[in-house]
Structure 1
């Protein structure tokens, strides 16, 4: 399958109150009587991408998208108060109940894969299957892959890492980098705060794809500042707090979802989420299928990643329909 599905307009959108002053934006598209699927975006802080519905056959799927606490149209924007991992997991169930869905397929990429796995571990009976892209298990080694001077990203992109870690005291470490940026992003100095937002975002964006358009990685002028703000603020917040998870929590509890079917799609040259995490998850989860995409990195904007995701949703729809018979 060498194409994405046509984009469709949503037939419903709105907000759901999840408590502590937070309200989440959601929308529904496709077939109201189709297979319910929840698109869980990455980040933390990315919000819904414009083309996320193109991974699903709108005739077969009831497509639900939402924006996590502090992201996109959800309010309050870029807010870290009452914004932790398990709270976000519970938000998914609040949304499920609000929409009257008994169980759904979870489709999550990067940080979205983390939330999808955690939701499945806690609310197993409400999950029919998983499609995961760019797996992030939130372990120390996964955070180091992205931030540590000894991580793969720093080793392969030293000139960008030098810019990213400018002014951070040596010796560099994942913890020290998070502390530096967390302080800068909370600063009352607007110039310092905006510079830190852009530098964090530039680092993430440069790693996301094998080939970038001209200027990407050196400038954020072509990206909306709200996206830069929420991604940098929330990503730093979660990574500074070890993603609010016990070390290796997902793999140590994977036995709870061994019966759930899943597809794992991971770019071989993913510099944000290590390919070894996808392999470790697959080995611990026999009912999963792992597809390592040979010519891709992390982003769904890379064609081979997008095509693989479309094939995965097509195959999963067939499997779920057959399992009902």
Structure 2
């Protein structure tokens, strides 16, 4: 279905976590987590994007704090989790089991799983692995980590829409390596030249920060230009993407039958640059039972007005809140 852009809902008021901590998940990794809302209310987990993005204060505000007990966490290697930007024992399947460890910490038999962008990939992988642990799925900015999706963003596609930004991205890569930009950046981001690593991280991160919204967002650009954020973001993204996120070709759609009984909602911006709408449409075709919302006048970011409106209405609805 296609949504009207108004009237629009927006964030719940700012709030602080009622609990924070670090969880040792093995392999030398410690995950930062926080719980927000009302302890003992409807359990939910928020899965951030990237890979390597991290959580922020506004992510807490996607849920009615009176109705939800939400756990948010920084995935391995990013945000406040340690060690920072570390690639060791850092795969999709490590993260899936981390979510299970956090569910046990939360003491939830089942929980609503909310994931956007890479978080939608991880949410699908988790739900298809542990379908009995998921009460509902909220997926935004669908990404299934297939070669055509990677090529669209890092070879030919978005380069035609943002040529001036693309020129900056490829500038530090010699001509003979530009046919495989992902691998060229991965080599520099995992190499020994620290100055080149940081420069590559900034350029990689800004490419995404400046193309994920329909209209320019100075806040996104500032975050993605931050050296600490950019290093984790770029190293983890290229690490995951050169390995196709440790997924078999077409795996997430192939296994969607495992989750078709779970109530779900798919939200996707019409003009999403990193994640073309056709892949959300493909998920909708494989999972017709899920609610499907195409948001007009929106790109990829969760906080674009139409997308945010639909996400808030969705979390309200799954908590049984009557729309006003």
Name the TM-score, length of structure 2 as normaliser.
Answer: 0.92
Q: 1:145 aligns with which of 140, 152, 157?
A: 152
Q: 2:216 aligns with which of 197, 212, 219?
A: 212
Q: What's the counterpart of residue 54 of structure 1?
A: 61
Q: What's the counterpart of residue 51 of structure 2?
A: 44
Are positions 1:271 and 2:273 aligned together? yes
* 1: CA distance, partners of 2:219 / 2:175: 28
User: In the TM superposition, what is the alpha-carbon distance from 1:211 to its structure 2 partner?
Assistant: 1.3
SS of 1:159's equivalent in the other structure is: helix
User: In the TM superposition, what is the alpha-carbon distance from 1:196 to its structure 2 partner?
Assistant: 0.4
| Pairing of 1:90-109 with structure 2 (within 5 A) | 90-109=97-116
User: In the TM superposition, what is the alpha-carbon distance from 1:296 to its structure 2 partner?
Assistant: 0.6
8 Å Cα contact 1:168/1:177 also seen in 2: no
Q: What's the counterpart of residue 3 of structure 2?
A: none
8 Å Cα contact 2:14/2:57 also seen in 1: no
Distance 1:52 1:20, change over 3 A: same
Q: What's the counterpart of residue 175 of structure 2?
A: 169
Distance 1:18 1:138, change over 3 A: same
Q: What's the counterpart of residue 201 of structure 2?
A: 197
102-111 vs 181-190, which deviates more?
181-190
* 1: CA distance, partners of 2:118 / 2:224: 24
SS of 1:48's equivalent in the other structure is: coil
8 Å Cα contact 2:205/2:225 also seen in 1: no
8 Å Cα contact 2:202/2:225 also seen in 1: no
8 Å Cα contact 1:168/1:180 also seen in 2: no
Q: What's the counterpart of residue 288 of structure 1?
A: 290
Q: What's the counterpart of residue 4 of structure 2?
A: none
* 2: CA distance, partners of 1:215 / 1:311: 24
* 2: CA distance, partners of 1:289 / 1:100: 28
Measured against aligned partners, the alpha-carbon deviations of 1:106-155 in whole angstroms (never above 9, x if no partner) come to 00000000110011000010000100110101111111121122x2x112
User: In the TM superposition, what is the alpha-carbon distance from 1:2 to its structure 2 partner?
Assistant: 2.5
8 Å Cα contact 1:133/1:264 also seen in 2: yes
Q: What's the counterpart of residue 130 of structure 1?
A: 137
63-72 vs 189-198, which deviates more?
189-198
SS of 2:143's equivalent in the other structure is: coil
Q: What's the counterpart of residue 309 of structure 1?
A: 311
246-255 vs 185-194, which deviates more?
185-194
Q: What's the counterpart of residue 159 of structure 1?
A: 164
Structure 2 alignment gaps of length 5 or more? 1-7
User: In the TM superposition, what is the alpha-carbon distance from 1:103 to its structure 2 partner?
Assistant: 0.6
8 Å Cα contact 2:212/2:301 also seen in 1: yes
8 Å Cα contact 2:178/2:184 also seen in 1: no
Q: What's the counterpart of residue 248 of structure 2?
A: 246
Q: What's the counterpart of residue 10 of structure 2?
A: 3
SS of 2:241's equivalent in the other structure is: helix
Measured against aligned partners, the alpha-carbon deviations of 1:197-243 in whole angstroms (never above 9, x if no partner) come to 111011111111111146976xx588432111111110111111111
User: In the TM superposition, what is the alpha-carbon distance from 1:195 to its structure 2 partner?
Assistant: 1.2
SS of 1:36's equivalent in the other structure is: strand
Q: What's the counterpart of residue 32 of structure 1?
A: 39
Q: What's the counterpart of residue 234 of structure 2?
A: 232
SS of 1:208's equivalent in the other structure is: coil
SS of 2:274's equivalent in the other structure is: coil
Distance 1:215 1:126, change over 3 A: closer
Name the TM-score, length of structure 1 as normaliser.
Answer: 0.92
Measured against aligned partners, the alpha-carbon deviations of 1:279-325 in whole angstroms (never above 9, x if no partner) come to 10011012201111101101123122111110111112128x9xxxx
* 1: CA distance, partners of 2:73 / 2:220: 27
Measured against aligned partners, the alpha-carbon deviations of 1:133-183 in whole angstroms (never above 9, x if no partner) come to 10101111111121122x2x112112211221222434744xx21221111
Distance 1:221 1:210, change over 3 A: closer
